[in-house]
Chain A
Amino acid sequence: MTQDETPLPGTDAHTREVRARQASRARVMALLLGAFVILVFAIAIAKMTGGAAH
């Protein structure tokens, strides 16, 4: 959606667009958090096998 097509605040179209964007951001955040959990697990395994320079 371009700036010119932005719905006016207070309208149903505006509310729908806000909800759609919130849902889209929430999905991306969920994916990133899932990836972070996997990364932390992998780091823990790597550290236990002595994989980091100190």
Chain B
Amino acid sequence: MSTVAATVTLPAEWRDFLALTKPRVMSLVVFTGLCGLLAAPVPVHPVIGFTAILCIALGAGAAGALNQWYEADIDAVMKRTSKRPLPAGRMDRQSALHFGVGLGAFSVILMYFAVNLVAAVILTASILFYVFIYTIWLKRRTPQNIVIGGAAGAFPPLIGWAAATGDVALLPLLLFAIIFLWTPPHFWALALFVKTDYANAGVPMLPVVAGERTTRTQIGIYTIPMAAAAVAPWPLGLTGPVYGLVSIAATAVFALLTIPVATRAAGEGDAMQPEKRLFKYSVFYLFILFAAVAADRWLA
């Protein structure tokens, strides 16, 4: 980790603090957390439910802020992230650190007092995992960074469920597994078409370290357990046919989009359309799966 070159002479604007929380990433986190909460068999008071989702969002925002605080040097050399508040010189690193720690502590304390201990403990684990295990330990050291680090993004449905029930059960664990196994093909599809960015930043993403062929094979391999986890809730009797049919159809499309990515070889100047298509669909896929989990509970 190195310091950011830009000199900060003005206090950051509130919009920069908002940008620090990665609002776009947060939307998926909030959605999966909400679906975990709605899929629980226990009705939850709307205010407590709202507070739980707010805490998940604030916790994710804190993790995002601490990630940007630590990775300001990487962000500065990557085109995709160079406009963020720290590399762009709109905020000093100490403000980002204080904001991230303060927001994280606030989210956990509020979760404990307003919701319950189990949800607060899992929220703490998710923030610490993202910051210490993924950002600080794995990301710069191993191409397995997003495989293990994917767990950090998989916690929200567990937290949502725990907020409603005060407990953890098999269905939220399967929802955790779906996000965990979905993360590698999702990020490796992205890494295939922004490989140069990662290489310039010295981040050992799989295409940079092991090459494109290995990455494509791994995307294909990881799609198999992901598909199994995605479809499993129905045959296991944890959801009804609404989720079952949606998951089978959505997973089949995912598999169809994965096949060309896993089998082809991109030439010089390739537009990487199949990879971009898979990446875009993978986001939609997660939304549709989790919406189906919640809908299945409410339609049953």
Beyond A3-B90, A53-B163, A54-B166, is A14–B9 a contact (Cβ under 8 Å)? yes
Within 8 A of B (CB), among A28-54: 28, 39, 42-43, 45-47, 49, 51-54
Cβ–Cβ contact B11 & A52, under 8 A: no
Q: How far is the CA of A45 from the CA of B114 in the complex (A)?
A: 11
Structural contact, B51 and A43, CB atoms closer than 8 A: yes
Residue of B nearest to A52 (CB): B48
> Interface stretch among B39-47, B235-243, B267-275?
B39-47
Q: Is the CB of B10 within 8 A of A25?
A: no
A25–B13 Cα distance when bound, in Å, is: 7
A43 to B117, CA, bound (A): 16
Query: Is the C-beta of B228 less than 8 angstroms from some C-beta in chain A?
Result: no
Rounded to whole angstroms, the CA-CA distance of A14 and B10 in the bound complex is: 8
Chain A interface size, as a band, is 20 to 34
Report A20-31 CB contacts with B as 1/0, cut-off 8 Å: 011011001000
Do most interface residues of chain A lie in helix, strand or loop, or is the interface mixed? helix
183-231 of chain B: CB within 8 A of chain A: none
Whether B116 contacts A49 by the Cβ 8 Å rule is no
Q: Is the CB of B114 within 8 A of A43?
A: yes
Complex partner residue of A53 from B6, B44, B54, CB under 8 angstroms: B44
Task: Say yes or no: B14 contacts A42, CB within 8 Å.
Answer: no
Q: Is B164 an interface residue (CB 8 A)?
A: yes
Interface residues of A in 1-20 (CB under 8 A from B): 3, 6, 8-9, 14, 17-18
Q: CB-CB < 8 A to B166: which residues of A?
A: 53-54
Given the contacts A3-B90, A43-B114, A51 and B11 also touching, CB distance less than 8 Å: no
With A43-B114, A53-B116 in contact, is A21–B45 under 8 Å at CB? no
Chain B residues within 8 Å of A, Cβ to Cβ: 6, 9-14, 42, 44-48, 51, 54, 88-90, 114-117, 163-167
Instruction: Point out residues on A near B: beta carbons under 8 Å.
Output: 3, 6, 8-9, 14, 17-18, 21-22, 24-25, 28, 39, 42-43, 45-47, 49, 51-54
Given contacts A39-B51, A51-B45, 20 further A-B contacts (CB under 8 A): A14-B10, A17-B10, A18-B10, A21-B10, A21-B12, A22-B11, A25-B13, A39-B54, A42-B47, A43-B114, A46-B47, A51-B44, A52-B116, A53-B42, A53-B44, A53-B116, A53-B163, A53-B164, A53-B165, A53-B167
